[in-house]
Amino acid sequence: MIKNGKFKHVLFLIAFLITFGVIFRDLLINISTNFPDWRDYPYLTWIINENIYHLRSLDFSNLFNLNVFYPHTNTLFLSDTLITQSLIGLPFSFFTKNPVLIFNLVFFLTFLLNYIAAYILFNKLLKNSLLSFIGGLAIVFSPFFYTQMGHFQMQNYWPFIFILYFLFKTDKKKFSFNEVLIGLLVATQFLASVYLAFFSIISIFIFFLVKIYKGQNYKVAVSKFSIIILTFLLLDGIFIKGYMDAKKSFEIKRGVGEYLTYSAKISDYFFPRQNGLFYQNSLVAKWQSYNKHFVGETASFPGFILTILGILGLIKFGKSKEHISFNFSTDTPSLFFLCLMIIGFIFSLGYPYIPFAKYVPFFDTIRGVSRWSFLLYVGIAFFAVFYISKIKSKWLFTAALVLLITDVLPAKFITYKDSYLEKNDETLRTICTAKKTVLFELPVTHFDAGDNIAKGLSYIAKRELASVYNSCHLVNGYSGYDLPNLFNFKDQVYAAINSADPKLLYNVVKGRGVNVVKVNTEYLNETSLENYNKIYSKFSKLEGVREIGNNLFLIE
């Protein structure tokens, strides 16, 4: 017989699964073929399946070497490693070879873990299963869900939420197993998303500052924080070194302009990105038309109900005959989440963050500065649910719950079907599985493919995903950093094409170690296509070049 409390937990878990299933019904129905978009999602799917291949074959010596940017190594560290997501997807790889299906199963499990973590955290803080359910929804479908859905790695924050749970479980002893668990969770978060791991460490630091302010012995706080960081470093040291080596070998540098481009604007916090029921009307559409922030990344208005409830939970209003008073709660959770909100808001704006990025070690890691808003939304969700917990009137309590759910839940979630494989991939598979083969695809990068960057990104991401099937090593590639070396190669290729010099083109690709050239004419811009057509016949008849498919050439 299940105890009443446990039954409630199971009941609310089922309620979440039903809610989630309704919202993501389109993806559930098309789980083997569809993505939320065909830009970053094929790219992320490719990394996860590359990792799974290395893990299954116990090929740990090549775990850090993705099959792109040939002949460069250590390329896994040009972006998030997605090792955590890959470990989640690993068991599914024994039952299916479909990379899209594997990814979508990881997608669903990730959001389930996000909800479970948030539910457990709120249950720890509020001791109420219904409010924990609402808190779980407020976290899972926060504005961050809408602004960062295109970057799935940023939706993998369940270790961060579990970290908060164990922080609130820490006691006054200098050491407890909680600190080791938190260190393990930071390590897990780091392998899922470097950004979220950095947010986790900053949040842990803030938590212990609050504890010291509230009277905890600073030596105890320093001891606990040190154990957490030491555990993290011991577990992830090899990966941290990998990032440092990659930064040095690829000479990765970020200009101030990048941080500003990918930062939020103050105006972002007045324009909603949600598509819930409250936002499906002409008034909101008219208001949205005034939003002129289109380039880079953005933040979002937290939501009508979430904002109102969050303010009411943050500020205590008092009234007497002579004056109205405003008070703030100073208990540990309130101070902690208030600090998260302040840090998240200020750092997301770009300009206040620049001094930290320039002068404080590791802060330059966060290029997508707007993503600091995650901390703001977590704090608002806490204060909103906290306020609901204090409502005495059953009618107002119910109304607040219904309005908050309506505010945060998406009205629709659309996915898209496309194909990442082409006819030439069968030929490529035959060649590349027989021996190590280096493939060069034209266009070279996402900047010179199609008529816009979005189309170009989709092109290169789909070709990366296709390499899971055809097993080729690519000269091309896309990651979180644009390699100058690849852009130099691109210039050499187009110089040869534009000068109508097939022999020069042969020498350029041969000098790069290319074995096969594949020209994707549908993605070439008008000028490049015209110039390519001029040299196509001569290039295909060169000594050392053999056409083995439609615009597919073997370089001998």
CA distance to 159, 190, 216, 356, per residue, from 121 (Å):
11, 20, 22, 30
CA pair distance 396, 305, nearest whole angstrom: 13
Looking at residue 202, its amino acid is I
**Residue listed under structure tokens 């990442």:** 420
Which stretches of the chain drop beneath a pLDDT of 70? 1-4, 172, 174, 318-325
What confidence score (pLDDT) does residue 2 get?
43
Tell me 552's DSSP state.
Answer: E
Tell me 168's DSSP state.
Answer: T
What confidence score (pLDDT) does residue 320 get?
59
What confidence score (pLDDT) does residue 267 get?
94
CA pair distance 42, 69, nearest whole angstrom: 17
CA pair distance 54, 93, nearest whole angstrom: 12
Is the separation of the CB atoms in 497 and 528 below 8 Å?
Answer: yes
Element (H, E) at 547: strand 545-549
**Residue listed under structure tokens 């073929």:** 33
Comparing C-alpha atoms, which of 382, 390, 309 is closest to residue 161? 382
What confidence score (pLDDT) does residue 323 get?
65
What confidence score (pLDDT) does residue 276 get?
86
CA distance to 304, 459, 515, per residue, from 522 (Å):
45, 10, 22
Is the separation of the CB atoms in 79 and 69 below 8 Å?
Answer: no
What confidence score (pLDDT) does residue 90 get?
98
Q: Under 8 Å CB-to-CB from 382, ≥6 apart: which residues? A: 122, 125, 135, 313, 333, 337
Tokens of 145: 């869900």
> Coil, strand, or helix at residue 72?
coil
Quote the crossing angle between the two packed helices 304-314 and 373-389, to the nearest 10°.
70
> Whole-structure pTM over 0.75, yes or no?
yes
- The CA-to-CA distance between both ends of the chain, in Å, stands at 72
Q: Under 8 Å CB-to-CB from 497, ≥6 apart: which residues? A: 505, 528, 531, 532, 535
Is the separation of the CB atoms in 334 and 212 below 8 Å?
Answer: no
What confidence score (pLDDT) does residue 306 get?
96
> Coil, strand, or helix at residue 23?
helix
Task: Provide the β-strand partners of residue 132.
Answer: none
